[in-house]
Structure 1
Amino acid sequence: MLSTLSASRRKTTGETQDARSLPAGPLALVLGLALLAALTAAVAWGSTSIPPGEVWSVVWRRLSGEAPRPGTNDLIVWQLRVPRAVLAALVGAGLGVVGTAVQALVRNPLADPYLLGISNGASLGAVASLVLGLGTGGVLGLGLSGAAFAGALATFALVWAVARRGGGFAPLRLVLAGVAIGQFLSGFTSFLVLQAGDEQQTHSVLFWLMGSLSGASWPVLAVPAIVVPLALLWLQARARGLNALMMGDETAAGLGVHVARLRRELFTVTSVLTGVLVAVSGAIAFVALMVPHVCRLVVGGDHRRLLPVSALFGALLLVVVDIVCRTAMDSQELPVGVVTSLIGAPALLYLLDRRLGSGS
């Protein structure tokens, strides 16, 4: 018994590491440099191409407080493309982090945060704002993002209440409650879409439901720029507890983890983070499911390494996907969720096939 507990403690604190996993430090450095290059390309490429040197010149002048130069390049770079590229990175990082956290919450490496129904609630709030709102104020004057966030929090409270019925906090009951409530809200969202007043409004709603970063602006960046780093720091501080949670409640309790409290806090943080992400970008599929799984295969299951690597890889992936969405077709922009699904589904099936074939 003591030897088992000692081995569990070593796994929890990260003293042991899968021989096949890569060092997280060098990998994070490579991902960081790749992300910087992708952000530069995202700002430089588009209907009007701008040299990378000019991109960084505009950014430097703006950050240093210099007056903008006359011409369209400054406007395109600073007001249009930089906010969108930064939003893509923030949303991608947030999805990677929230996916990792939910997989620890339900003890399933293939779980998805949308299993909890939070994204369905956010989508319902946003669609209600678009379809039923008056003018640009949205439902009760909340606007699109505010209504989406309110829907996410309301769904969080409902799922929490259902999952807690009868006492206790079982992961299976939480998932079942989230799936059931999420499907109900999804059906109601579809009903609201059918009530859209005109074809253009229906197109806008469906485009948003498939994921879109076209609404990026400096004011929109404010909330995710605060929430995503804070959520990452909070989860990073509890990485050992997440490691223990993945080994089972009894083992985690034996290692001194307050399991019920950690799950309660984890559910709250993931719900708030999911609501913020859906509010600013719509429902983007597969990123939160695929990114943690890929990173776990590369760096192992220790959340002290897994969380920052998932954040960097998620940011890089969504910035690259957004470049594809903006430049793949001349006449229109592709929804982000469509491209992530087309990339994510085959990639995940390939990884699963390799994992099952190797017996791991």
Structure 2
Amino acid sequence: MTNKLPLLRIGKFYLLILILVFAILLSAVYSISVGQVYIPFNQSMNVLLSIISNNLIGTTDNIDNVSLITIIYQVRMPRVVFALLVGLGLSLCGVVMQAVVQNPLADPYILGVSSGATLGATFSILIGFGSSAILSQFGVAFGAFIGAFITAIAVLILSSLGGKVTSIKLVLSGVVIGALCSSFSNLIIYFASNAEGIKSVTFWSMGSLASASWDKIPIIIFVVVIGIIFFLSQFRILNAMLLGDESAITLGINLGVFRKIYMIVVALITGTLVAYTGMIGFVGLIIPHLVRGITGSDHKYLLPFSLLLGALFMIWADILSRVLIDNVELPIGIITSVIGSPLFIYIIIKKGYNFGG
């Protein structure tokens, strides 16, 4: 592993970070403008600045149609924030998982978390768990989160049997538990007589940001921001994981303990995101690959760059899901897969870098 930036000097790296931030801001305003109801870019910018600054900057006086302000604030702004947070969270989890299991093919779902979330959501929709008076406010989201978290704990326990936790045991445990959860999900669907529920499960499994709302954002912000702060402080441990257990031991680092901690944190982040947006693949897999080809494998640079690129990617994936077909909103999971698959194939064929640098 190398800690050098192979293609960028430090100054250029931070310049590129600023460019990414600027691109995210412009993309966010454009995302607010497009959709079934088109809103001019300058009007979206004025409304956005007015809301953010509490009317100190920007104005809504030049917008005659009051419903446009409602569309911007109540529908599109929460959706943009959702896309931003999901991109940040999935990219973060992808980077961490690839280091934890020492496998460049890892993503937030390799340890069976997605299958557990699917089982929880399927159970909620088809069995009626989400219709409970106590849980009616959370519904499918609660079931998906609980399923993801329980699955992660099960994988952690299974990988701990017979000795210390290793990257190979984590992967194998994740595959086994994930397959088991998928089997139970299919079993529930097979015996279910709720046609509308089955349709909801199918749509949920393809991922969507359509349920975005302001009341759901605080939970996601809390989980994602805490995760970001935590892992940005762990870049040295993540770098040590790429060296392997034996090398880490010589440095006085017990990777087994950190794997358990990181896995639980990743499960919390992924479970929360999957609970509210459904299954959105390839973000945690493809973004770290793209960034690693630019910054190298040093997580001090890999993490922040991946976070921003993941956020930008998700904002544009959401834009495409709304504008590709007139009057039709495609599930965003389809968009990320269609974009991510060829990119990943290209990386496999053309990129010659090793995982460690």
Same-fold status (TM-score > 0.5): yes
Amino acid at match of 1:345: S
What is the deviation of 1:115? 1.1
What is the deviation of 1:127? 1.6
Distance 2:300 2:354 in 1: 26
Write the mapping of 1:121-270 to structure 2, written as runs, cut at 5 A.
121-133=116-128, 136-137=131-132, 141=136, 142-270=138-266
What is the deviation of 1:61? 3.2
- Partner of residue 342, structure 2: 346
Query: Could you report, residue by residue, the CA deviation over 1:14-46 in whole angstroms, capped at 9, with x for unpaired residues?
Result: 4xx143346431221111111111111111001
Query: Residues 276 and 134 of structure 1: is their aligned pair in 2 closer, same or farther, counting only changes over 3 Å?
Result: closer
Query: Residues 114 and 358 of structure 1: is their aligned pair in 2 closer, same or farther, counting only changes over 3 Å?
Result: closer
- Partner of residue 76, structure 2: 81
2:130 and 2:139 in contact (8 A); partners too: no
Aligned to 1:111, what secondary structure does the other structure show?
Answer: coil
2:322 and 2:330 in contact (8 A); partners too: yes
- Partner of residue 287, structure 1: 283
Query: Residues 205 and 21 of structure 1: is their aligned pair in 2 closer, same or farther, counting only changes over 3 Å?
Result: same
- Partner of residue 45, structure 2: 56
1:131 and 1:195 in contact (8 A); partners too: no
What is the deviation of 1:71? 1.3
What is the deviation of 1:301? 0.6
2:33 and 2:40 in contact (8 A); partners too: yes
Output the TM-score relative to the length of structure 1. Answer: 0.90
Query: Could you report, residue by residue, the CA deviation over 1:77-124 in whole angstroms, capped at 9, with x for unpaired residues?
Result: 000000001101110111110000000000112212211001111111
What is the deviation of 1:147? 1.2
Which of 299, 318, 321 is matched with 1:322 structurally?
A: 318
Q: Calculate percent identity across the aligned residue pairs.
A: 37
Query: Could you report, residue by residue, the CA deviation over 1:122-163 in whole angstroms, capped at 9, with x for unpaired residues?
Result: 111112111112674489655111111111111111111111
Distance 2:42 2:192 in 1: 45
Aligned to 2:110, what secondary structure does the other structure show?
Answer: helix
- Partner of residue 4, structure 1: none
What is the deviation of 1:52? 2.1
Distance 2:354 2:289 in 1: 16
Distance 2:42 2:189 in 1: 44
Which of 88, 97, 100 is matched with 1:102 structurally?
A: 97
Amino acid at match of 1:131: L
Distance 1:187 1:286 in 2: 22
- Partner of residue 112, structure 1: 107
Query: Could you report, residue by residue, the CA deviation over 1:186-222 in whole angstroms, capped at 9, with x for unpaired residues?
Result: 1222233344544443222211101111100001111
What is the deviation of 1:346? 0.7
- Partner of residue 38, structure 1: 27
1:128 and 1:139 in contact (8 A); partners too: no
- Partner of residue 20, structure 1: 7
Which of 304, 308, 312 is matched with 1:312 structurally?
A: 308
Query: Residues 242 and 327 of structure 1: is their aligned pair in 2 closer, same or farther, counting only changes over 3 Å?
Result: same
Distance 1:354 1:206 in 2: 35
Distance 2:41 2:304 in 1: 27
1:132 and 1:139 in contact (8 A); partners too: no
Aligned to 1:203, what secondary structure does the other structure show?
Answer: helix
Which of 23, 29, 52 is matched with 2:18 structurally?
A: 29
Distance 2:192 2:205 in 1: 14
Q: Which moved more, 1:122-131 or 1:57-66?
A: 57-66
What is the deviation of 1:357? 9.4
Amino acid at match of 1:333: E
Query: Could you report, residue by residue, the CA deviation over 1:213-256 in whole angstroms, capped at 9, with x for unpaired residues?
Result: 11000011111111112111111101011101101112122223
Distance 1:347 1:276 in 2: 27
Amino acid at match of 1:153: F
Between the two proteins, the alignment pairs up a number of residues equal to 347
Output the TM-score relative to the length of structure 2. Answer: 0.91
Distance 2:189 2:332 in 1: 19
1:96 and 1:287 in contact (8 A); partners too: yes
1:132 and 1:138 in contact (8 A); partners too: no
1:211 and 1:281 in contact (8 A); partners too: yes
Flag structure 1 segments of 5+ consecutive residues without an equivalent: 1-7
Aligned to 1:192, what secondary structure does the other structure show?
Answer: helix
Distance 1:55 1:144 in 2: 32
Amino acid at match of 1:188: F
Distance 1:244 1:257 in 2: 8
2:129 and 2:143 in contact (8 A); partners too: no
